[in-house]
Structure 1
Amino acid sequence: MTPEPPSSDTLSRIRALVGDAACTDAAQCHTLALGARPGGGPQAYLAWSSACTDGAALALLAEQFRQERLAEIAASGELSDCRFLPDPGAVCRAGTCRLNQPGPDAA
C-alpha cells in the first residue's frame, strides 16, 4: 500500500479549519485557491467564511499545500492539461459559504 502524500494531510487540515463555512452575509464569503497545477495556477477553489475561520492561519496552510503539490508535480513529472481554472467567487446560500455556480444564462 502506498502512503498518502503529505498534501493529503494538509488538505484535510484546511478542510477542518474551514469547517461548515457558516455565514450570515455574502461579505463573509471568500474563495481560497488550493494546490497547484503543472501548468500553473491552482488546482481547485474552496469557499470559506471569515465569520468563523482565521484567514491568516488558512493562508499559511494553503501556501504549505501549494508547496507540497509543486514538489509532488516535480517528483512525478505530472504534465499540464493547459486548462485555466478561474476563481468562481463565493456566495452565502442557506447560511453557508459556497462556490458561486453560474446559472444557465451565464456566458
Structure 2
Amino acid sequence: MKIKHLKYIIALALAPLVACSQAGNQDNSENPDIKPVDFQQQIQTAIADKSCNSDADCALVEVGAKPCGGPESYEPYSKPNVDEARLLELATAYKKERQDYFKENQIMGICVVTPEPHVSCVNNQCVASEQSLKVQ
C-alpha cells in the first residue's frame, strides 16, 4: 500500500516538470521575433546600392520606431537606384510592425530622440553624418 502512495507522490512531483518541458516546445507562429516578412532586411537590400554623382542623388529613410516615438535610425540611400515608393512602403510597414509590438507588449522607452543626420554624396556613395546641432 505504501508503494501505491509513493507512485502517486512521484507522479505529482514530476507533473510540473513535464508541463514546463512541453511549454518550451510550443509553436513559434506567434513569436514576434520570427516573421514571415523581414521588413528590416528588405529595406537594407533595397538601399544597398548607395552610388551617387551629387548630394541631390541622396536622401534618408526613417527605419523602425522607438517606443516613445520617432525612428530607430535613419539610413541613407541613392534616389536614382531605389524604387522610392516601394522603399516608403517597406519603411511604413516596418514602423507599424514595431509600434504594434510595443503596444501589444506594453514596452516603454527612455524617450531619447535620434537626431536626423546630414546626408551627402562622398566618394560617389551616399553617406549619413551627424549634423552639428544649432539653436535657432
Answer yes or no: same fold by TM over 0.5. Answer: yes
CA contact (8 A) 1:29 1:47 kept: yes
Which structure features the higher share of helix residues? 2
Structure 2 gaps, min length 5 = 1-23
1:43 aligns with 2:72: yes
SS in 1 for 2:60: strand
Give the direction of change, closer, same or farther, for the CA distance of 1:75–1:84 in structure 2 (3 Å limit).
same
Runs of 4+ aligned residues of structure 1 deviating over 2 Å after TM superposition are 1-8
Give the direction of change, closer, same or farther, for the CA distance of 1:73–1:8 in structure 2 (3 Å limit).
farther
CA contact (8 A) 1:30 1:89 kept: no
Question: Please, which moves more after superposition, 21-30 or 73-82?
Answer: 73-82
User: Higher relative contact order by CA 8 Å / sep ≥ 6: 1 or 2?
Assistant: 1
For 1:17-49, what per-residue CA distance to the aligned partner results, in whole angstroms no more than 9, with x for missing partners? Answer: 111311111101101111111111111110011
Of 50, 53, 60 in structure 1, the residue corresponding to residue 89 of structure 2 is 60
**Which letter maps to 1:79?**
M
Give the direction of change, closer, same or farther, for the CA distance of 1:90–1:55 in structure 2 (3 Å limit).
same
> What is the identity percentage for the equivalent residue pairs of Structure 1 and Structure 2?
25
Give the match for residue 111 of structure 2.
Answer: 82
1:33 aligns with 2:52: no
Using structure 2 for the length normalisation, give the TM-score: 0.68
Count of residue correspondences: 104
Give the match for residue 24 of structure 1.
Answer: 53
Using structure 1 for the length normalisation, give the TM-score: 0.85
Task: Tell me the distance in 1 between the aligned counterparts of 2:128 and 2:50.
Answer: 11
Q: CA deviation at 1:75?
A: 2.1
> Which of the pair has more CA radius of gyration?
2
Give the match for residue 91 of structure 1.
Answer: 120
